Structures are given as C-alpha cells and as structure tokens.
C-alpha cells in the first residue's frame, strides 16, 4: 500500500467515527503528542476527538539515509479520543482492518509500555501494540499532561506510518516504499520514499551529528526560554509561549544527539522545557475554564 493511501484510509476511518481531522503543526517536534491539538486538547473536560499526521524528528535516530529501518524523521498518525471510549481497543483493531490487515492470519499483542514525556510533564500508561512481533502503534491512556491530571482521561493512539507500510508490503528498506503515483500526460510515475526523502535524511543526519553549531544551539535554547516566559508572563499568551517550549525541546534534541548535554545536566535542561510547557498548560486551562483546574478536583475512588 502506498504511504498516502494508508494515511487517507486512516483519516477516512477516524473521520467516520467522529474525529476531527487535524493537520501537522508547522514546528519541529519529536512526536505527535507535542502538537497543540493533543497537548491542549487532552486538558480540560470538553469532549475532544482528533486525528492527524505528524512528521516527527529524532535527531539521534539519524542514520544518513543508510540504515534501511531507522530515520531522522518519520511520520506518526495520531488519534486522541477524549474521554477514552469503553471499546477503544476494538475501535483500534477495526482501524487496522480498514488497512487490510486480516486478523485471522496475524498475531496481535498489547505489551506494557508506559509513555512518558518529561519535557511535556506528561505521562500515561498503556501498551505498544505488537503485530507479528513488530511494534506498530503506541496506545496510551493519558494520566497527566503539563503536570495536570487529565479528567476525563484521553486515549492516544499513535501509528508508525512507515513501519506499517513496510510491514504490509514486505519491504526490507524504508526508502523503497512508494509514497504515491504522479500521473502526467506522459504517463504514471511512482515516487518512492527514498526519492522524496533520502537526501533530506543525509543532510539532516549530517547536520545533527556534525554540522550543527553547538554554541548557537545553546544560545538559542536560552533565548527561546526567555522569550517563552516573557510571552506568558507579560501577555498571558500560552499558545505563542508553547511554541517557544517546542523550539526549546527540538534544540535540546539536537544538542543531545551530539552528546553535548552531560548526564548530570540532562534532567535540569529537560526540567526547563517542562516548566514552560506546564505553565502554558495551566494558563490554557485558566483561559478555557476559569480558575479551577482539574488538578484541584481531588475526588478519588477505587483502588489506590
């Protein structure tokens, strides 16, 4: 299946089940969770179902376009369902069937994999979904985002687009995947993932492992932080301030890929991103719902 066909089918499936179809957010980020549609959407009490593709950058995963399985930038398909439906696992399985996966011939497991994003102050519990031994999705019940309890709880489904495509097509090299076909008066031209992205992988890997100016990135990190707090404190602007937190996060990832952040510094640097993101989350809730934030609602029940 072509990459674009997979995306279109997932969008159709989730749109038919009452999801808004969102768009990627135009800033570098490590995961679809960082898109404001998820970060802010998972907060507060209002119902919120959204699905979108998110290109995700992991500088440390760059392999110069030479590794057939691992890339600097990959595509995630992200679904947020708030509150999490009772049959959410069944829904997810149906979405795979919509991609043509016949479960009478495959092995499906949900293995514990709890998700945590220290730089977003977010965590949840859930699984990696394993199809015939391969992790194809991350399935998470958000418990906290931006340091605030999620009430109600959202289910987050993250599909690894390229992996699923490779798996379905039996590809041994990510760059052989076909993104789609270009049809012109002269004929039909299939375009591969490699044609579209291999050079980009090479340059971005070289950038994060060799050419990035570390001094500049350290300066940028500090500058984004300052800018973010200024926007938040002086203007109460949590959306533009959150963008600064996203930029901090990516800048940190570039530094980290180069081993420029020591193990002792690491937690402190991450905390600086988290502090800004969490402050944005609080400001968002105050704006949306008045002063009371869900974290202040303390009614508890059930097992501890």
Partner 1 sequence: MSGTQNFLLELHCEEIPARFLQPLTSDLSLSFKTWAVGQGLDFSGLDTFYSPRKIAWRVSGLLTAQADQTETQAGPPQRMCIDEAGKPTIQGQKFAEKWGVGFDQVRFEQPAGKKEPCAVVTITKAGRPTVDLLQEALPGLVASLHVPKAMRWGKSEFEFVRPIRNLLCLFGDQVVPITVDGVTARNTTWGHRLYHRQHPEPVKIKTPEAYEAALEAAGVVVSMEVRRTRLAQQVEFLAAEAGGRVVADAELLDTLAEIVEFPKILWGDFPADFLELPKEVLVTSLREHQKSFCIEGPDGALLPCFLTAANRADDPEGFVKAGNEWVLKARLYDARFFFAEDRKQALSERLEKLQALTFQRELGSYHAKTGRVVAITKALATRLSDDDEHLNRAMEAARMAKCDLRTLMVGEFPELQGIMGGEYLRHEGAHEDVWMAVKEHYRPAGAEDAIPSTPMGCLLSLCDKLDTVVGCFAVGLIPSGSKDPLALRRAGQGIVRILWEQGWAFTPGDLVATALRIIGEKATKPAAESTEALLAFFRDRVAYQLELAGYAGSVRRSALAAGWEDLADLKARCEALSAFAEDARFASLAQSAKRIGNILKDESPAGDFDGGLLAQAEEKVLAERLSRLESAPDQVALLAALADLAEPLEAFFSAVMVKCEDQALRAARLSLLHRLRQAFLRVADFSLWQ
Cα gap 259→84, rounded to integer Å: 39
Site membership for partner 1, residue 68 (CB under 8 A): yes
Site membership for partner 1, residue 299 (CB under 8 A): yes
Site membership for partner 1, residue 11 (CB under 8 A): no
Pick the binder of partner 1 from 5, 27, 99, 110 (CB under 8 A).
Answer: 110
Residue 56 φ/ψ, nearest 5 degrees = -125, 130
Cα gap 301→304, rounded to integer Å: 8
Within a 13 Å sphere around the CA of 257, how many CA atoms are in the beta-carbon half? 26
Site membership for partner 1, residue 268 (CB under 8 A): no
Pick the binder of partner 1 from 12, 103, 182, 236 (CB under 8 A).
Answer: 103
Site membership for partner 1, residue 290 (CB under 8 A): no
Pick the binder of partner 1 from 26, 185, 188, 262 (CB under 8 A).
Answer: 262
166 within 8 A of 174, measured Cβ to Cβ = yes
β-partners of residue 183 are: 188
| 3-state class percentages of the chain: helix first, strand second, coil last, to nearest 5 | 45, 25, 30
Cα gap 227→225, rounded to integer Å: 5
Pick the piece of the chain touching partner 1 (CB under 8 A) from 24-32, 122-130, 175-183, 184-192: 122-130
Shortest CB 84 distance to partner 1, Å: 5
Pick the binder of partner 1 from 1, 20, 27, 93 (CB under 8 A).
Answer: 93
Site membership for partner 1, residue 200 (CB under 8 A): no
DSSP, collapsed to helix, strand or coil, labels residue 185 as coil
Shortest CB 102 distance to partner 1, Å: 9
Interacting residues of 120 by C-beta distance below 8 A, sequence separation 6+: 33, 34, 39, 145, 146, 273, 274, 277
Residues 143-158: b if buried by 16+ CB within 10 A, e if exposed: bbbbbbbbbebbbbbb
Cα gap 161→3, rounded to integer Å: 7
Pick the piece of the chain touching partner 1 (CB under 8 A) from 10-18, 50-58, 257-265, 288-296: 257-265
Site membership for partner 1, residue 46 (CB under 8 A): no
Measured from the CB atom, the residue of 24 and 68 that comes closer to partner 1 is 68
Site membership for partner 1, residue 189 (CB under 8 A): no
Site membership for partner 1, residue 169 (CB under 8 A): no
Please tell me what DSSP assigns to residue 171. Answer: -
Site membership for partner 1, residue 86 (CB under 8 A): yes
Count CB atoms within 10 A of the CB of residue 67: 15
Pick the piece of the chain touching partner 1 (CB under 8 A) from 121-129, 195-203, 220-228, 272-280: 121-129
Site membership for partner 1, residue 193 (CB under 8 A): no
Query: Which residues contribute to the site for partner 1 (CB under 8 A)?
Result: 63, 67-70, 83-86, 89, 93, 103-112, 114, 124-125, 127, 131-135, 141, 143, 150-153, 155, 166-167, 170, 172, 262-264, 299-304
């Amino acid at each position: 299946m072509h990459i674009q066909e997979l995306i279109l089918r997932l969008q159709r499936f989730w749109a038919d089940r009452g999801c808004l179809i969102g768009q990627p957010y135009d800033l570098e980020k490590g995961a679809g969770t960082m898109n404001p549609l998820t970060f802010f959407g998972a907060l507060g009490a209002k119902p919120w179902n959204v699905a979108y593709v998110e290109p995700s950058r992991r500088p440390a995963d760059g392999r110069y376009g030479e590794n057939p399985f691992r890339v600097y930038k990959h595509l995630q398909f992200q679904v947020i369902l708030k509150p999490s439906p009772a049959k959410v696992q069944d829904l997810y399985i149906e979405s795979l069937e919509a991609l043509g996966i016949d479960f009478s011939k495959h092995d499906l497991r949900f293995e514990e994999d709890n998700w945590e994003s220290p730089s977003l102050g977010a965590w949840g519990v859930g699984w990696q979904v394993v199809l015939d031994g391969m992790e194809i999705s991350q399935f998470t019940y958000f418990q906290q985002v931006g340091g605030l309890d999620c009430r109600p709880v959202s289910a987050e489904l993250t599909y690894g687009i390229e992996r699923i495509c490779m798996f379905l097509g039996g590809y041994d090299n990510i760059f052989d995947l076909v993104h789609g076909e270009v049809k012109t008066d002269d004929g039909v031209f299939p375009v591969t993932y490699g044609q579209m992205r291999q050079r980009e992988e090479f340059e971005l890997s070289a950038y994060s492992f060799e050419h990035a100016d570390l001094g500049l990135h350290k300066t940028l990190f500090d500058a984004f932080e300052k800018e973010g707090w200024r926007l938040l404190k002086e203007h109460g602007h949590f959306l533009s301030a959150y963008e600064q937190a996203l930029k901090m996060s990516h800048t940190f990832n570039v530094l980290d890929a180069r081993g420029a952040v020591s193990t002792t510094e690491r937690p402190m640097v991450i905390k600086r991103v988290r502090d800004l993101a969490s402050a944005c989350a609080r400001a968002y809730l105050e704006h949306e719902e008045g002063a009371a934030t869900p974290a202040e609602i303390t009614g508890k029940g059930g097992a501890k």
